[in-house]
Structure 1
Amino acid sequence: MNVWDRPEPPHRPVPLDRQRIVAAAVALADEGGLDAVSLRKIAARLDVGPMRLYGYISTKEDLFDLMVDEVQGEILPEEPPGDWREALRLLAHRTRQAALRHEWLADLLGGRPAMGPNGLAVSESTLSALDGLADVDTALRAVETVAAYFTGAIRREIAELRAERATGRSKSEWQRSRGPYLTRMLATGDYPALARAVHEGTHVDAGTSFATGLDWVLDAVAARLAGPPA
């Protein structure tokens, strides 16, 4: 049975419901990542016996589904998007913002479709903005293309943030520490394209890079929605 269709057990002396369980799980994941989430730790945080949780959630997979759907509620726009481009841009930026608040989300992006109530609402909001502009398959490919871009970009950004915490050095500090080695390698003349990128390229922050790449992907989607090339 789907976790959202499973009835909740009756209340006991200590009130408990899926909402409280999921909130505790999200808090644990925010503090220590997905590895920090277990039914035992959730039960301890809620001051209940671990066995009580099995009446609400039978597997960790169910728990993760509920956690993702909880965060999908943060991704859902407050107002309907004005057009398809705004809908896809909002989906990308709001997913990135949610992942920066809940870094564990990056580990669960790109898997199975989000089938909880909030996840379905996000999909409905996004696809409705494309309704009538293209056939269903083209609309689905457009959403998948944008999702593939922001999923990869978000995972890379979160990986860099985790590396900074693990090493105690920022990205710029790490780059400076590798500077002498890179300078020697580029001086060999074996990497002319890379040398030009290093010396002439403009280095931008993660937010700017994300927004620029997203605009390029949306431009490509717009060209496809306009019709096949002649």
Structure 2
Amino acid sequence: MTVWDRPEPPTRPVPLDRERIVAAAVALADEGGLAAVSLRKVAARLDVGPMRLYGYISTKEDLFDLMVDEVQAELLPEERPGDWREALSGLAHRTRRAALRHEWLADLLGGRPALGPNGLAVAEATLAAFDGLADIDTAMRAVETVSAYFTGAIRREVARLRAERATGLSERDWQRAAGPYMTRMLATGRFPALAKAVHDGTDVDPETSFAAGLDWVLDAVAAGLAAPPA
């Protein structure tokens, strides 16, 4: 039985429901990551005994599922996308923005399918953009391909943000600190392609890099959709 199949217990003296529990869990995760979330800590945030929560949630994994579904509401398009490309591009950018607001989401992306009501609504809106254009297997592969790209890109960006906070060094500070070592290594002549990238490459901000990579993946999907069946 999924957490969404379980009925909520009757109201007790201290008002409690899944909505309040999930809101408290999301707040804890936003403050300290998933490590800051436990049924005991959520109960303390709500000023109730931990056993009260077991009437609503049986495991921490259930709680994570509910938290992900809560954030999935932020991924729903405000209006029906014009086509499949707009649908997937919008989903990618909204997921990135949500993960930057809730960094813990990056740790849960790409795991089990999101089966909550909001997750199902996101999947429905995304797949519906392929109606009449491709068979369902092709549509699923297209969505999976783009999802694999933005999941990896988001995790990488969040990992860098965490590294900056852990070390106190921004990306530019880290590059300056590593500069002397890199200069010595590149001077050996063993890494000509890397040397060209370091000396001639253009630094771009994460959002620009994300959008460029996404466009390349979407172009590849478009080419696959246009190709005649094998």
Q: Structure 2 vs 1, CA of residues 158 and 6 (structure 1 numbering), >3 Å: closer, same or farther?
A: same
Instruction: Please state if 1:10 is matched with 2:10.
Output: yes
Q: State the distance in 2 between where 1:128 and 1:29 align.
A: 32
User: Distance between the aligned counterparts of 2:16 and 2:79, measured in 1?
Assistant: 32
Structure 2: unaligned runs, 5 residues or longer: none
What is the Cα deviation at residue 64 of structure 1?
Answer: 0.3
Deviations, residues 47-67 of structure 1 (Å, cap 9, x unaligned) = 111100000000011000000
Question: d(CA) in 1 for partners of 2:21 and 2:78?
Answer: 25
- What SS does the corresponding residue of 1:14 show, helix, strand or coil? coil
Cα deviation, residue 36, structure 1: 0.2
Instruction: Report the TM-score, using the length of structure 1 for normalisation.
Output: 0.98
Question: What corresponds to 2:127 in structure 1?
Answer: 127
**Pairwise CA distance, 1:227:** 1.6
For residues 37-186 of structure 1, the aligned pairs below 5 Å read: 37-186=37-186
Q: 2:194 aligns to what?
A: 194
Aligned to 1:19: 19
Match of 2:210 in 1: 210
Deviation (angstroms), 1:133: 0.8
Paired with 1:228 and 1:146, the residues of 2 have a C-alpha distance of 21
CA–CA distance in 2 between the matches of 1:167 and 1:173? 10
Q: Secondary structure at the match of 1:178?
A: helix
* Contiguous gaps of at least 5 residues in structure 1: none
- 2:78 and 2:39 mapped to 1: Cα distance? 32
The separation in 2 between residues aligned to 1:188 and 1:131, in whole angstroms, is 56
1:132-175 deviations in whole A, cap 9, x for unaligned? 11111110000000000000000000000000000001011001
In structure 1, distance between residues paired with 2:174 and 2:227: 45
What's the TM-score once normalised by structure 2's chain length? 0.98
How far did residue 228 of structure 1 move?
3.8
17 and 192 in structure 1: CA distance in 2 versus 1, 3 angstrom threshold: same
Percent same amino acid among aligned pairs? 83
Cα RMSD between the aligned structures?
A: 1.0
Q: Deviations over 1:63-94 (max 9, x none)?
A: 00000000000111111111100000011000
* 1:31 maps onto 2:42 in alignment: no
Amino acid in structure 2 at the alignment position of 1:69: D
4+ aligned runs moved over 4 Å, structure 1: none
| 1:229 positional shift | 8.6
Amino acid at match of 1:225: L
Distance between the aligned counterparts of 2:44 and 2:24, measured in 1?
Answer: 10
